[in-house]
Structure 1
Amino acid sequence: MNSFIQLKPSLLACMIALTSSYSIVSHAQETKVSGELLEALTVKGQTYRNTATKTLLEPHETPQGISITSKESLEQRGTQSLSEAVRYTSGVNTELRGGAITRNDFFNIRGFNNQQNYYDGLQLLYNDWNLQPQIDTAAIEQVEVFKGPTSTLYGSMPPGGMVNLIGKSPQPFQKNQLEATLGSNNKREIQIDSTGPLNETMNYRVIGLIRQKEGQATTSEEERVMIAPSLDWKISDRTQLNLNLYYQQDPSAGVYSPLPSKGTLFNNINGTLDATAYAGDSNWETYDRDVLLFGYKLDHTINDTWHFLQNVRGMDATAYQENTYSTSLAEDERTLSRRAYLTDEKSTGITIDNQFSALFEVGKTEHSLLVGLDYLQLTSDILYEDGVAPTLDLFNPNHHQVIRSDLSYNPFYSSDFTIEKEQVGLYVQDQIRLDQLVLIAGGRYDHYKSTEKGKKYGAETDTKVDQSQLTGRIGALYELDNGVSPFISYAQSFEPVPGRGRNGQTYDTSTADQWEAGIKYDAANTVASLTAYQINKQNVLTRDPEGSPYDLVQVGKVRSQGIELDIQQRITDEMSFLAAYTIQDVEVTKDNNGIQGNTPIWTPDQQLSSWLSYEPQSGSFAGATLGAGVRYIGEMELDSKNTDKVPAVTLVDLSIGYDLASFSPDLQGANIQLSVSNAFNETYYSCYDANNCWFGDDRSFEVSARYEF
């Protein structure tokens, strides 16, 4: 067992109000707490917990970076995916796979790639291949990005941070919504959202969606059907049960194949490729995914001190894929050599999080103790076949060349194996409030196991990972009377490392730590934060100088440091503004591959985003909502060797909405909205290396008509 830090049993304490929201709302009404608080508690539901603390502690009281994007912001910008939802969040780069790739939610947080997302506090189980569950934004209330190492509460996680999607919950009042959308690329979509009481003890919600559109790449299509019913049952004054289900079918989810840098990022002797360029074959282009998530949340007040929350979710998912990838570009710079492959994947799993909390006072201090035990298990069966595909003329493409009967698979690539993962974590968090001082500390012990058994790349495999880890965090925040709250924190994370090195030895756990300090401000009409951080990641795999080119050792290190500024301000009753700025320096500080001192890919040196919203209350434009956003994405490295740059780009997004009730009282509840992304149709790119580049999103628009009743 690798002990990352040693934590003593006596921990600092934290303030968590983990009592029933029914009693909270009742008390708030008696004490005339602001309507904004009541609305927040009602919308999020009784089982909602802040991502950064698993408590009801407000973000501005949390001594670590956290950014929240509300449902209203998602709707105004016309967001359809998680990547689009976090575009205006500091420290997050969503430009990893370009505009044509929509089947996965991949992004980079504070310089580290993350494919491991959360939904209502539980991990969306991902098999590290091609079967990643996606949650449509139609079912999302808000998106929370928890910055920096998060392992103390969530276990194995990249050190840059995590994204937690907060789902829409049943409400105690009747509300129905029907929405129809038309847009570019022949987009057609219908959404329904209905919520309300069934009786005095039960509230329901049903969310549904049907979407069809053409993808950005030539010949590609995207289809989705989603339904998400849930039920809140107040079993007693002390106990509430939430039952929830999420089912999504993606019969077609666009393309995945990249393009070479010549003809996209760089000049090509034959000209420049269009943003709709496609390197695959429509006869061999399939991605069919089915995801079923089902679970419950049990919320129980044990007594005046102790509270219990159990969050459980099971998963049953499949994905079948046919795709091509390129191997080389000929000297004529137009003939692309390709291979065809298929994957057939099935995943089943379960995640459970048990939380016991106690709220008490000791002298002048108010304490809250959180003790949790969580568990996740995933079994995934994977079939992979790979063969030679016909070459493609990029500048005179024939996208109908593949003949299934002519494909012959190479046994060297053939794979049929099973992945099993299991993680058990025990965590303790304690917080103390002494007047205006908030202290938080926590520790966690994890035991992680994984196996791969079967035939992988033509050979039998039986690899195992059995690793344990201690992680912790500690932080302090002081709330001044003027709304300024300086804070400082230290946090750790870990990631198990599968595989074996030279002589068959297993790898140790990869660990990371972060120091973070900053100032948060929450007063009048402004919420802002300024944060500086440094993350150091150790035990990164790198080439073994004494072994073969495929042997790896754990001597690599990566350092990420930066500054983030976030501002949300209500300028007037009619105008609001948000901005997010990131400057970061990410460097490989130790490596045997000759890239020491280099910057990893997908880490822009700077990012700036801002959004201005105007809602006139009187005059000719009363009832309208006008929005404009600007996103600047700084230059990135082309490849790990830093041979060239992917240039910076500035993008503009626009939004116009209108409440039709302002036009006529008979249209109460009806509104329309136009959203435009990349309004000036800027061409931009992301790259993995010179052979793998993607066009960014081209200009797109959608018009939505919504009726609430």
Structure 2
Amino acid sequence: MSAHRFTKGQGILKPSAIALAVTSASFALADEPNDLSSTTLDTLTVSSETYRNTATKNQLNNQVTPQSISVISGEALDQQGADSLSEAVRYTSGINTELRGGAVTRLDLFNIRGFINYQNYFDGLQLLYNDWNLQPQIDGAAIEQVEVFKGPTSALYGYMPPGGMVNIISKAPQDDPEHSVELTVGSDNKREAEFDSTGAINEQLNYRVVGAIRQQDAQAVTAEEERIMIAPSLDWQASDDTLVNVNFYYQQDPKMGIYTSLPAKGTVLSNINGPLSSDAYSGDANWNTYDKEVALLGFKVDHKINDQWHFLQNTRIMDATAYQENTYSTGLAADERTLSRRAYLTDEHSKGITLDNQFAAELQQGEATHHLLLGLDYSKLKSDIRYEDAATSSIDLYNPDHYQISRASLDFAASGYSSDFTIEKEQVGVYLQDQIEWGNWVFLGGLRHDRFESSEQGIKYGANQDTQLSQRFTSGRAGVLHQFDNGVAPYVNYAQSYEPVSGSDRQGNTFDPSEGEQIEVGMKFSGRDTVATLAGYQIVKTKVKTRDPDGTAYDLIQVGEVRSRGIEADVTHYLNDEWDMRLALTIQDSEVTKDNSGLQGKTPIWVPDRQASVWLNYQPIDGALAGFDVGLGARYVGQMQIDAQNSGEVPSVTLFDASLGYDLASLSPSLDGASVRFSVSNLTDETYYSCYDSDNCWFGAERSLELSARYQF
């Protein structure tokens, strides 16, 4: 295998890290292509003993897992200048991040294999989300790598949409001391400072502290964004067999841009007054607040019981608040410029706990090795929500006055929408999994049973609310993979998912959970200079609520169905010692296949028909350009539908990104550890859009420039 390099401080990918970044399968390059199973965990960028792969909750490499998973390494995140989770996964196949435009940054929202997902994971545990406006986010400065587990995941994680999930891996304490500070300036008056420090306190204790502070103007006029984050963690080697990790994550977002939308006319569609500017804003500076505070306290205990069995407990406690003042539109007038609005506020407080107990064993039975996993996980969330809503003044989108609303003018009592209620959700799951290695064969089977309960109690939209939901579901997965001596590894899998469904039909029968089923056939390949994957899938989601044809317009039954199918191809290839390339391609077809409300045969929103991306890295070894590293990326997002009725199309777009880094040690040995990087997102400043319906569209992110300086020591 040809030699490749990684220069500390430059953010260039070493071979193992690029192999992890291949966007549909995470596996490192084996020295010999006929020995894929010999790849060990030490090739991962994550070196914590408590780390478990997202797709299996064990430490086996993802190459021997018969299901698609994409891993984006920390080096790739650094080079691409990813500050957010959405930016981290945008070069990953099967996932669409262009949902609510560039101005809305308070949610990490994705469409994975045709299904919308608000629910993300952090170190294998759910980031508890109250289904309103309080979604915990993890800042890019605290992220070691990101893993996208594609297809149904309920056999390991409980209730989830059938398209897949995103798991964020945090930066963990290390033995070797390493410290860095980084300063960044950029477009929209961006100012940012980050630090990262890790090392050993003594023979038993390792620490890590990561922090960031950021301020910038938001894309929409009059809006701003601010963030403060700190994340300390400590590893304690309590004994030769027991490791204890304590971690804390605190983030405050005093300002988080905007959440309002714009009509399709003036954005995606033509308007008699001309197109709107990409920084247009339909809200009011006097009534635009979003202040979020999130505290996460976590504990991990990894205990070696004996030579075969390990026990891992992973626990996190959350306390989070969010206060919001905002507006929403109620219609565009015939002049196509006057937008009527209402003003609202939300005050939310969530407390919760989530834990996962795992017993893992490696057992030998003849020529077969069983990687057995038994687990019990639990999560509980209680969220108190206050909501107020009132009529307010309209706005002229083409001659806006963003300072019209005064608090005294809002009559919330007269609206009838006042709400003060509590949401509680609780899940208990028991699961069993066995991953068997037998010669060149790998067999995977898993089964899980969940009990999910939820309630809403209080005043909601002016009426008494007292609803209870109690549902049970058993989900499974099965797969098989064969490793050929030439590096090819074909696989097939079947997986199930479920999501709780509230409400009842007109006879008073409560609804069952919706179900998802996937069949996936794929192939993974690892060669001398190439790692690649090809996957084809079909997911069918059933028991979707739709109108009851024998009832009123408000009566629902569970006979709806959505089908999504597609092909994903991913390649990482080393052209030579200086050039490497990552390529991802997605072709998908999503359709409502059963429905009673006129949607049958329609394509759901936020599902592009095609996606493609490529990232090219260049790092010269010697000569005048030695010390530089250059990255150039292109992302294509195909057309999407404006609304569920498919009344129009959101056009496709091709976006370009670039990165240029320089190791200052190339100028002088005294500058060892110092580096600079210049990165550009949306290089050509393309104007593009996303839409929920004709009343709610968003502009994509404008061109942004960043210049950062880092010192590592």
How high is the TM-score relative to the length of structure 2?
0.94
| Cα distance between partner residues in 1 of 2:137 and 2:294 | 8
Residue among 687, 700, 704 paired with 2:704: 700
Q: Cα offset for 1:500?
A: 3.0
Q: Does 1:245 align with 2:248?
A: yes
After superposition, give the CA deviation of every residue in 1:51-80 in whole Å (9 maximum; x if it has no partner).
Answer: 000011212211001001011111111111
Correspondence for 2:528 among 524, 528, 532: 524
Structure 2 counterpart of 1:467: 471
Answer yes or no: is the 8 Å Cα contact 2:45–2:73 preserved in 1.
no
Distance 1:236 1:42 in 2: 25
Q: 2:586 aligns with which of 572, 582, 586?
A: 582
- 1:40 offset after TM fit, Å? 3.8
Which residue, 442, 461, 475 being the options, matches 1:457? 461
Q: What is the one-letter code of the residue matched to 1:260?
A: P
Confirm or deny that 1:612 pairs with 2:640.
no
CA distance in 2, matches of 1:574, 1:314: 46
Letter in 1 for 2:180: Q
- Cross-structure match for 1:225: 228
Residue 628 (structure 2) aligns with: 624
Structure 1 counterpart of 2:98, from 80, 95, 100: 95
Q: Which amino acid aligns with 1:653?
A: D
Instruction: Tell me the C-alpha RMSD between the 2 structures.
Output: 1.3
Note if contact 1:42-1:171 (Cα within 8 Å) is conserved in structure 2.
no
Residues 41 and 64 of structure 1, relative CA distance in 2, 3 Å threshold = closer
Q: Which amino acid aligns with 2:533?
A: S
Q: Work out the CA distance in 2 between the residues paired with 1:39 and 1:626.
A: 27
| Residue of structure 2 equivalent to 1:330 | 333
CA 1:38–1:457: 2 relative to 1, 3 Å: closer
The aligned residue for residue 13 of structure 1 is: none
- SS of equivalent to 2:87: helix
> Counterparts of 1:191 and 1:504 in 2: how far apart (Å)?
55
SS at match of 2:543: strand
AA matched with 1:558? V
Pair 1:194-2:197 in alignment: yes
Find the counterpart in structure 2 of residue 291 from structure 1. 294
Q: State the 1:92 CA deviation.
A: 0.3
* Percent of aligned positions that are identical: 61
Name the SS for the 1:75 alignment partner: helix
Local SS of the residue matching 2:393: strand
CA distance in 2, matches of 1:113, 1:563: 18
Alpha-carbon deviation of 1:39?
5.0
CA apart distance, 1:305? 1.4
Aligned partners of 1:496 and 1:508 also within 8 Å: yes
Structure 1 stretch displaced more, 618-627 or 42-51: 42-51
Partner of 1:429: 433
Match of 1:86? 89
CA distance in 1, matches of 2:152, 2:37: 34
Matched, 1:654 2:658: yes
Give the partner amino acid of 2:614: S
Structure 1 residue 596: Cα displacement: 0.2
Query: What's the counterpart of residue 23 of structure 1?
Result: none
- Please state whether the residue corresponding to 1:153 is helix, strand or coil: helix
SS where residue 135 of structure 2 aligns? coil
Counterpart code for 1:123: Q
Do the aligned residues in 1 keep the contact of 2:192 with 2:214 (CA within 8 Å)?
Answer: yes
Q: Deviations over 1:552-585 (max 9, x none)?
A: 2111000000000011122211111001100001
* Mapped pair 1:665 → 2:665: no
Q: Distance in 2 between matches of 1:669 and 1:330?
A: 59
State the shift of 1:84 in Å: 0.8
Superposed counterparts of 1:138-157, under 5 Å: 138-157=141-160
* CA distance, structure 2, for counterparts of residue 57 and residue 34 of structure 1: 9
Residues 128 and 144 from structure 1, CA distance in 2 versus in 1: closer, same or farther, beyond 3 angstroms? same
Task: Verify the 8 A CA contact 2:58 2:360 in the aligned structure 1.
Answer: no
Unaligned ranges ≥5, structure 2: 1-35
Question: What corresponds to 1:11 in structure 2?
Answer: none
C-alpha displacement of 1:44: 3.0
2:391 and 2:415 in contact (8 A); partners too: no
Q: What does residue 510 of structure 1 align with?
A: 514
Report whether the alignment pairs 1:414 with 2:418.
Answer: yes
- Which of the numbers 220, 232, 237 marks the counterpart of 1:234? 237
Alpha-carbon offset, residue 412 of structure 1: 2.4
> C-alpha separation between the residues in 1 aligned to 2:481 and 2:178?
40
In the alignment, which residue of structure 1 is the partner of 2:25? none
Number of residue equivalences = 677
Aligned to 1:203: 206
Give the Å deviation of 1:663. Answer: 1.1
Q: Distance in 2 between matches of 1:537 and 1:642?
A: 20
Give the corresponding residue for 1:163.
166
**Any idea what SS the aligned residue of 1:84 has?**
helix
Mapped contact 1:147–1:161 kept (Cα < 8 A) = yes
Structure 2 counterpart of 1:114, from 113, 117, 137? 117
Per-residue displacement from partner, 1:645-701 (whole Å, max 9, x unpaired)?
A: 100000000100001001111100000001100000000000011110000001001
CA positional deviation for 1:37: 5.3
Matched ranges for 1:255-654 at <5 A: 255-409=258-412, 410-654=414-658
Pair 494,461 (structure 1): closer, same or farther in 2 beyond 3 Å: same
Q: CA deviation at 1:504?
A: 3.5
Amino acid at match of 1:496: P
* Matched letter for residue 179 of structure 1: E
**TM-score, normalised via structure 1 length:** 0.94
Corresponding position: 1:685 with 2:695: no
Give the match's secondary structure for 1:192: strand
Q: Which residue of 2 aligns with 1:65?
A: 68
Kept after mapping to 2: 8 A contact 1:464/1:499: no
* Secondary structure, counterpart of 2:416 in structure 1: coil
- How far off its partner does 1:547 sit? 2.7
- Conservation of the 8 A alpha-carbon contact between 2:41 and 2:59: no
2:3 is matched with none
Structure 1's 38 and 115: CA in aligned 2 closer, same or farther, altered over 3 A? Answer: closer
Q: Distance in 1 between matches of 2:560 and 2:313?
A: 39
Q: Which residue identity lines up with residue 394 of structure 2 in the other structure?
A: T
Q: State how far apart, in whole Å, the 2-side matches of 1:236 and 1:41 are.
A: 25
CA contact (8 A) 1:374 1:424 kept: yes
Partner of 2:184: 181
Can you list the C-alpha shifts for 1:167-195, whole angstroms capped at 9, x where unaligned? Answer: 00000011100000000000000000000
Deviation for aligned residue 1:34: 13
- CA shift for structure 1 position 591: 0.3
Q: Distance in 2 between matches of 1:673 and 1:42?
A: 21
**In the TM superposition, what is the alpha-carbon distance from 1:550 to its structure 2 partner?**
2.5
Residue type at the aligned position of 1:243: V
Q: Name the residue aligned to 1:17.
A: none
State the 1:411 CA deviation: 4.1
Deviations 1:372-422 (Å, cap 9, x if unpaired)?
A: 000000000000000011100000000000011010124421111000000
Counterpart residue type for residue 458 of structure 2: G
Is the CA contact (8 Å cut-off) linking 1:535 and 1:560 kept in structure 2? yes
- Counterpart CA distance in 1 for 2:323 and 2:548 is 36
Rounded to whole Å, the distance in 2 between the matches of 1:136 and 1:528 is 30
Partners of 2:40 and 2:60 within 8 A in 1: no
Distance in 1, Cα, partners of 2:367 & 2:76: 40
Partners in 1 of 2:132 and 2:41 — Cα distance? 43
Amino acid at match of 2:110: F
| CA 1:588–1:511: 2 relative to 1, 3 Å | same
One-letter amino acid of the counterpart of residue 455, structure 1: I
Partners in 1 of 2:692 and 2:120 — Cα distance? 22
